Homo-oligomer: A and B are copies of this chain.
C-alpha cells in the first residue's frame, strides 16, 4: 500500500475518461491543468479531485506534440566523473526541477564528435540546451544557438548567452599571496590545452606575474589529469620555481603526489595552489585553492535558458562569476635560496 489516498495510477487514465466521468468536455479537463485561470475555480477543483481519484497523470508526449514544448532541457558536459562538473550538474538539475523541467544528461567523454552527436540527438526533443565547457568549434555553437535556445557555460562566444566561471580575480589573489610570501619564481601547470578556462588562467597568471615581477614558467599537464600532474613535476623542478599554480585541484593533487615522491616538502620547499575548490577541502593536506562558483553557474545557466525558452529575447548575455583565493595548508614562505 502506498501512503497516498488516491488509487494507483491505472494506465490509460486520460482526460477523456475524467471528462466522461464528470460529464464535461475534454477541453475543460485539459484547461483545469494547463490554463486553470480560464475556468471557474469550482470546476477546476472538481476536475482535479476526479483526476486525483482516478490516478490521472498527464501524458507528456501528447502534451509535447500538441504544444511543441517538451518540458525538458539537455545538459551536456565533457566528463561527469571530473569533480568540477557534478556541482554544476546538481545545481542545474535543481534549478530545472524547481521550474518543473526535466533534464537530460549527456557526457561527451571530452570528445567533440560525441558532443556533436549528443547535441543533435537532444536538439530535436528538448526545449533548450546548456553546454558546459563545450569542445565544439565556435561556428558550430553559433549555428546551434541560432536554432534552439542554448546557454554556454565556460565558453565565450559572442551573441550566444553564456555564463563564465571567471578565475581571473582568484588567480590574481593567488599571485599576490605568493608574492607576499617572497616567491620569485612561479610555474603554472595548465590543463586541457585550448580550453576557454585554461586560456583564461594562462592570461591571468601571465598578467599578474608581470605586475609583480615574478618569473613565470608555463607548463602543461598531459593528460590534464592527476597522472598528468604527477608527471609534470620534473618540469616544475627544472624551472627552479618555488611556487606552483595548477589548472585545477585534480592536477594540483597530482603535483602534490609527484613532489612527495621526490621528497620535496609542501609548503616548506614548494607552495602549491589549486583551482576549483571542489575536492580541495576534502583531502589531506588541505589544498590552498581558488574557489569557483560552480553551483551558481549551473543555477544561472538554467534560469537564463528557461527565460529564453519562455520567449524572452536576450541580447548577448554574458554573465561572469568571480572567484577568490581560499587559504589552506599548501602555501608558505619562499625558502631561502
Contact = CB atoms under 8 A, between A and B. Distances in A.
B65 A226 contact: no
A256 B105 CA distance: 34
Given A87-B81, A90-B81, A147-B9, A282 B61 contact: no
A60 B281 CA distance: 44
A139 interface: yes
A309 interface: no
Given A8-B147, A57-B124, A61-B125, A284 B104 contact: no
Interface in A62-94: 62, 64-65, 70, 72, 75, 79-81, 83, 85-87, 89-90, 93-94
| Interface residues on chain A, size class | 35 or more
Given A9-B147, A125-B60, A125-B102, A253 B89 contact: no
A103 interface: yes
A200 B109 CA distance: 33
A80 B72 contact: no
A192 interface: no
B80 A93 contact: yes
A255 to B, nearest CB: 9
A257 B279 CA distance: 13
A106 interface: yes
A49 interface: no
A283 interface: yes
Nearest to A260: B284
B125 A105 contact: no
A140 B104 CA distance: 25
A19 to B, nearest CB: 19
A143 B58 contact: no
Nearest to A67: B61
A275 to B, nearest CB: 15
Interface in A249-290: 250, 253-254, 256-257, 260, 279, 281-286
A250 B93 contact: no
Interface string A279-308: 101111110000000000000000000000
A76 to B, nearest CB: 10
A109 B122 CA distance: 26
Contact of A104 (B87, B105, B283): B105
Interface in A99-143: 102-107, 109, 118, 120-125, 139-140, 143
15 contacts: A1-B139, A9-B123, A9-B147, A57-B120, A59-B65, A59-B124, A85-B86, A93-B106, A94-B107, A94-B109, A102-B104, A102-B125, A226-B281, A253-B284, A284-B284
